[in-house]
Structure 1
Amino acid sequence: MDNLIGVGVYTPAEAGRLLHVRPSKISRWLRGHRVQGKVYEPLWTPDINLGDERVFLGFRDLMEVRVADAFIRAGVSAIRVRSTIVAAREMIGQDHPLSSDRFRTDGREIFLHIIETDEEGQQRERLLNLFRKQYEFKGILDPILKTVDFGDDGNPLLWWPGGRKLNVVVDPARSFGQPIDAASSVPTAVLAAAAIQEGIEGAAQAYEVSEASIRRSVEFENSM
């Protein structure tokens, strides 16, 4: 289990609950599947491998699924998302390219965010359309990952699944990546269950957290 510290561990059911994505879809993406005789390989290899045939996701897998699903919800076809992962993996050299902070979408196309330096040393931002293989200026496209904190390398570090104001965070370095109250680091599931048994005030006293933390945890768990 030591190699799982700081990675986060999720079953497809747990990931589906957090992401509001069907667990069967997550398993299909990570196992591969067959449709009308055509074989579709897994979209990527999960970070977690416990040596059996069960599917587990790490935090980076969780973020990759989140972005892939967001693209599909925005109107990008599943086939195009698959093509994007293949193309982007080659471009930026990462097994989980979608969950970096370099992607944008307008609901039809997917763009890779590029910072170029010209001959005079001036930097400018461009968007590379992965399918037309041409550059387009950055416009009104917003990052998909608005609720994710990224490291200097552009990879995801933390996720705020209920938005930053709710103060619930998914941090792979704490509680194996389960949602926690950011103020106390206690899992939201624990605080919400305590609220049912002890009430808001009793739960706050039992876990030495604020009543606000209990209310936020209850709100988050109810949203799941």
Structure 2
Amino acid sequence: MSVVVDVLERPIYTMSQVDRLLGLPHGTARRWIDGYSRRGREYRPIVRQSPTREDLVTWGEFVETRLLSEFRDAGVPIINMRPAIEALRAQTASRYPLAHSASLLTPMGKELVKRIQDEVHLNQELRLVVLRNGQYMLTPPAELYVNAMEFNDDGEAVRMLPDPDFPEVVLDPFRAFGEPAVRSVPTEVIAEQVRAGDPEELVAELYDLPLEHVRAAVLFEQRHSA
């Protein structure tokens, strides 16, 4: 009897892979996802409800970490976002509330997020939703996150664009082991063949890909492997 695993619960990456794929400094994913200790003080995780010391990261955890990464340069410790995420979990009864479109793409979801932000006095720099001219609007980091995600009919985040400049390249937990890929071909594989001297046209024919997909894969790897 096969067991169907919810896409958000699918273990897909290690902590170091999350750092690499999201362009985070080494160790950042582990601190955000599983918590850490410093100078005798324990800092609880932001993404997980409690520390597990598990190195494997689920797709839902990865997606929520992507959202946190959009706020990384805000100048305010990301740990300050934890009370808002905890309250949102409780209100929505969801383990991954920020990996569901209902939280950020529906009027009711935006209103709930705004109310929780106010209740926990979340720093302005870390807010996802603001009230402007009588309408609930996403802040720029939250909008970047939403635009990078593809949601299924159940509202779950199922695919991610790692770089908006290359819409052909996606991260999909069910393809290419979650690595950046065009269709199901890892961009690293394509770029390696081109670097080895294979013409882009030959690589496109080999993998039955449009030539522009091959070129996008090569440019993507040049930018993100530097």
Normalised by the length of structure 2, the TM-score is 0.74
Q: How does 1:194-213 map to 2 (within 5 A)?
A: 194-197=193-196, 198-213=198-213
Runs of 4+ residues deviating >6 angstroms: 2-5
* Letter matched to residue 223 of structure 1: R
The alignment covers a number of residue pairs equal to: 201
Shift in CA distance, 41/79, structure 1 to aligned 2, threshold 3 Å: closer
* Letter matched to residue 204 of structure 1: A
Q: How does 1:22-61 map to 2 (within 5 A)?
A: 22-45=25-48, 55-61=55-61
138-147 or 150-159, which deviates more: 138-147
* Letter matched to residue 159 of structure 1: M
Task: Give SS of 2:13's match.
Answer: coil
* Letter matched to residue 126 of structure 1: E
Q: Contact 1:68–1:98 (CA<8 Å) still a contact in 2?
A: no
Q: Contact 2:166–2:220 (CA<8 Å) still a contact in 1?
A: no
Tell me, in whole angstroms, the C-alpha distance in 1 between the residues paired with 2:212 and 2:37. 48
Residue 114 of structure 1: CA displacement?
4.5
What is the CA deviation profile of residues 10-37 of structure 1, one whole-angstrom value per residue up to 9, with x for unaligned ones? 1222222211112301112233211232
Q: How does 1:8-19 map to 2 (within 5 A)?
A: 9-19=12-22
Tell me, in whole angstroms, the C-alpha distance in 2 between the residues paired with 1:206 and 1:129. 53
Partner of 1:82: 82
Partner of 1:64: 64
Q: How does 1:87-98 map to 2 (within 5 A)?
A: 87-98=87-98
Q: How does 1:171-182 map to 2 (within 5 A)?
A: 171-182=172-183
* Letter matched to residue 63 of structure 2: M
Residue 65 of structure 1: CA displacement?
0.6
Q: Contact 1:195–1:203 (CA<8 Å) still a contact in 2?
A: yes
Q: Contact 1:19–1:66 (CA<8 Å) still a contact in 2?
A: yes
Q: Contact 1:5–1:173 (CA<8 Å) still a contact in 2?
A: no
Partner of 1:100: 100
Root-mean-square deviation (CA, aligned residues, Å) is 3.2
Partner of 2:127: none
Query: Alignment identity in percent?
Result: 26
Tell me, in whole angstroms, the C-alpha distance in 1 between the residues paired with 2:33 and 2:137. 32
Partner of 2:186: 187
Shift in CA distance, 72/87, structure 1 to aligned 2, threshold 3 Å: farther
Segments of 5+ residues of structure 2 without an aligned counterpart are 121-129
